[in-house]
Amino acid sequence: MNNKIYRHITSDGDARRGEVTTAHGKIQTPAFMPVGTAGAVKALISSDLEECGAEIILGNTYHLYLRPGIEVIKKMGGLAKFNSWNKPTLTDSGGFQIFSLRDIAKVTDEGVKFQSHHDGSYHFFTPESVMEVEHAIGADIIMAFDQCVPYPADEKLAQLGVNRTFDWAKRCVKRHNELLEKEGTDYSLLFGIVQGSTYKEFRTQSAEQIVSLDFVGNAIGGLSVGEPKDEMEEMLVHTIQYLPKEKPRYLMGVGYPEDLLMAVSHGVDMFDCVLPTRNARTGYVFTSEGPLIYRNADYTFDDKPLDPNCDCKVCQRYSRSYIRHLYNQKEITGIILATYHSTYFYQKLMQNIRKSIESDCFDLFRKEFLDLYSTNGKR
Amino acid sequence: MNNKIYRHITSDGDARRGEVTTAHGKIQTPAFMPVGTAGAVKALISSDLEECGAEIILGNTYHLYLRPGIEVIKKMGGLAKFNSWNKPTLTDSGGFQIFSLRDIAKVTDEGVKFQSHHDGSYHFFTPESVMEVEHAIGADIIMAFDQCVPYPADEKLAQLGVNRTFDWAKRCVKRHNELLEKEGTDYSLLFGIVQGSTYKEFRTQSAEQIVSLDFVGNAIGGLSVGEPKDEMEEMLVHTIQYLPKEKPRYLMGVGYPEDLLMAVSHGVDMFDCVLPTRNARTGYVFTSEGPLIYRNADYTFDDKPLDPNCDCKVCQRYSRSYIRHLYNQKEITGIILATYHSTYFYQKLMQNIRKSIESDCFDLFRKEFLDLYSTNGKR
């Protein structure tokens, strides 16, 4: 299975409509993966995710390794069984978490020594140990261990990140293949990650290096870390030309609806981001008319749904007034309602993107979506 | 409608099977009402409650009056519409909250001056103002404003509570009738509340006083406030004989499954309690085999459902191991799963109680339930 997991269905310009096959099922692309950091998409249960149309969810290796620990997940039958999702899953490699938590991590060529954010205990991640952890967690798609550098990064640091990412990628491939042989399966699909900060020459170098290792899928990492949006697009456009079209292309940690549309237009197939779920917990939902800060006093007496154009079960039943009240009272029910809506909104967006590519009208769809999406901003 | 809301279906000993009719629909009794303090049953959405089989939910007047305030609820069409439940609702009168928050409340014959737990602002509740607030909130069943005294209470305090509760009840009836006339409806069903602490003579006195006011339903208040269980039962048995059989009888704030069974055996029709939902949030669920402290390390590797004999959607899909992990990670999803199960468990218990009364085998059902329910305790 490992050598051909992507089936191309059709294209509209550079936008691609495809299908990725994993041991737990197929994923229609372009796809957006809700983030289930500790094994659950916060405030949702599996049936909510199914209702919303999600086909794959992401788990964070760093978090799952610390709690509940791989022994638990392994004994419970792997991530998809442990969290009763039973559909495709993907784990990141912990590289991005270490980037986020770099104050409590020490990175060397060998690997990363870091302290648990739970109890301060010390741990050591190497490319080899991360492969072992990801195999134990048992996601369908696993990511190579990379070094993501902060933005802005000087040339020296950016080059270091590229070199180390390549070195670690090779070590990941080696251990991954040993593990596959030992397990006697080809269950885990390993994706490589391209780094290079915001330097085109480093992006080229990293892409060529990563592609040379013949991963079953390739990801663009190190973006959406604080750089301006036009720089993100420039780097994406530059990098993606080096990534083989017969394999899935995954833009990590992106993003806002407008970012997804932009990236799809350049041929990206997969996305993940905490925005829809995290923002829902802070009083902010995504709607067809743009972001809605539903916690605002403006909505005290507003009996409209969060999104008047949405057919999700929350918008069919609940008012802004009620959800705002629950948010202000710190009621979990309010967080559930907001999270459900935004998750549904993202999945519906991806569904509409896929349909528009199939109908050769992606550009029109994008324009119309963005026109409506600017409504709230115009007020 | 007000004069005959209870239809008696059948009895088994003193246990009664009936039906209460309200403007938003019928309630099969004996019934357990999940508590939605601020207008939402914590960590559940309306469709969860429907799936669990709840037919009526309770809102707290004290909380709803402070936030979002009656102006919002009134403009949004009343409580059942505001919280998108659209089925029967009941509001307490705030009397019990004032009992709970007595450190920041001053009670006189006229009413209660209290401070908001949100912002320290001062408010004054009188029997008249509480009726106005409850009418504005618009629940189907509203409770008279009473004075609940702490346990233990000396005779003087208990007598004071009885006298004041009767005086306030008369004032509630008067204002309630004025409001009904003004509104031109008979929508709100007013229940009286019997007090009397743990003194039989005061219970008799209070019951006779309250019954004399001819409420459409009667409640037993002032129990489950810290007294021993046998004293609670003694007071219940003593009090309920004074409450007319042609009207619903509601035991407020009770309780554990064994308490519900005990009270049903003496003829109680309605219950409310935060136990199933509150305990779920602290790592404790109710199961057919007894309480399960699901947060315990014992369940780290336990792939069984919370309750092996439960057919709820949580027990069909999720393991103790997973839910325990989520609890430990403070994941909202864990709270949702535990709350859903315990709410389902309580509704299923009431359903089985109703069936057993219909089949004239309530005592056998109670015995078998309690035998199995002691399993976890025996371990």
CA distance A130 to A8: 31
In chain A, which residue's Cα lies nearest the Cα of B76? A303
Question: How many contacts, defined by CB atoms under 8 Å, are there between A and B?
Answer: 109
Task: Determine the Cα–Cα distance for residues B278 and A354; give it in Å rounded to an integer.
Answer: 43
Q: Are strands A249-251 and A270-272 parallel, antiparallel or unpaired?
A: parallel
Q: Max alpha carbon distance in chain B (Å)?
A: 62
CA distance B359 to B365: 10
Query: Which residue type does A168 have?
Result: W
Which site among B296, B328, B333, B335 would you substitute to test the A interface, given the most A Cβ atoms closer than 10 Å to its Cβ? B333
Nearest to A186 by CA among A153, A142, A152: A142
Angle at CA B62, nearest 5°, toward B59 and B67?
A: 85
**Which residues make Cβ contacts (< 8 Å) with residue B135, sequence separation at least 6?**
B142, B176, B179, B183, B188
The answer to whether A39 contacts B76, with C-beta atoms less than 8 Å apart, is no
Chain B contact probe: residue of A137, A333, A336, A344 with most B CBs at under 10 A: A333
Query: Has B259 been annotated as catalytic?
Result: no
Among A44, A331, A333, beta carbon nearest to B333: A44
Q: Check if A274 contacts B (Cβ < 8 Å).
A: no
Cβ within 8 Å of residue A195, ≥6 positions away: A146, A147, A148, A149, A158, A161, A162, A165, A202, A206, A221, A222
β-pair type (B15-22, B6-12): antiparallel
Q: What pLDDT, on the 0 to 100 scale, is given for residue B91?
A: 98
Do residue A76 and residue B335 have CB atoms under 8 angstroms apart? no
Question: Cβ contacts (< 8 Å) between B306 and chain A: which residues?
Answer: none
Which among A46, A42, A37 is positioned nearest to A65, based on CA atoms? A37
Amino acid at A151: Y
Contacts of B51 (CB under 8 A, 6+ apart): B313, B344
pLDDT digits (tens, 9 = 90+) for A148-202: 999 999 999 999 999 999 999 999 999 999 999 999 887 899 999 999 999 999 9
Report yes or no: A42 at the B interface, CB cutoff 8 Å: yes
pLDDT reported for residue B117 = 87
Which residues of chain B, if any, have pLDDT below 50? Answer: 1-2
Q: Do B319 and A76 touch (CB under 8 A)?
A: yes
Strand B6-12 versus strand B189-194 pairing type: unpaired
**pLDDT under 70 in chain A at which residues?**
1-3, 378-379
How far apart are alpha carbons A35 and A49 in whole angstroms?
11
- Shortest Cα distance from A324 to chain B (angstroms)? 9
Active site residue B298: no
- Tell me, rounded to whole angstroms, the distance of Cα B274 from its chain centroid: 8
Interchain CB distance below 8 Å, A333 and B43: yes
Q: Which pLDDT score is estimated for A96?
A: 86
pTM for this model (two decimals): 0.97
Q: How many CB atoms lie within 10 A of CB A150?
A: 14
Q: Any idea which residues of A carry the catalytic annotation?
A: 92, 272
CB contact burial B159-194 (16+ within 10 A = b; e otherwise): bbbbbbbbebbbbbbebbeebbeeeeeebbbbbbbb
pLDDT at A39: 97
Q: Does B241 lie at the interface with A, CB-CB under 8 angstroms?
A: no
Q: Which amino acid is at B226?
A: G
**Encoded tokens for B183:** 């509104």
Backbone angles phi, psi at A167, to 5 degrees: -60, -45
- Report pLDDT digits (tens) over B243-284: 999 999 999 999 999 999 999 999 999 999 999 999 999 999
Domains of chain B, each with CATH number or no CATH: 6-273 (3.20.20.105), 280-378 (no CATH)
> Do residues B343 and B41 make contact, with C-beta atoms less than 8 angstroms apart?
yes
**Given an 8 Å threshold on Cβ–Cβ distance, is B84 in contact with A317?**
yes
- List residues bridging with A26 in a β-sheet: A21
- The reply to whether residue A333 touches residue B40, judged by beta carbons under 8 angstroms, is yes
Express each pLDDT in B52-69 by its tens digit. Answer: 999 999 999 999 999 999
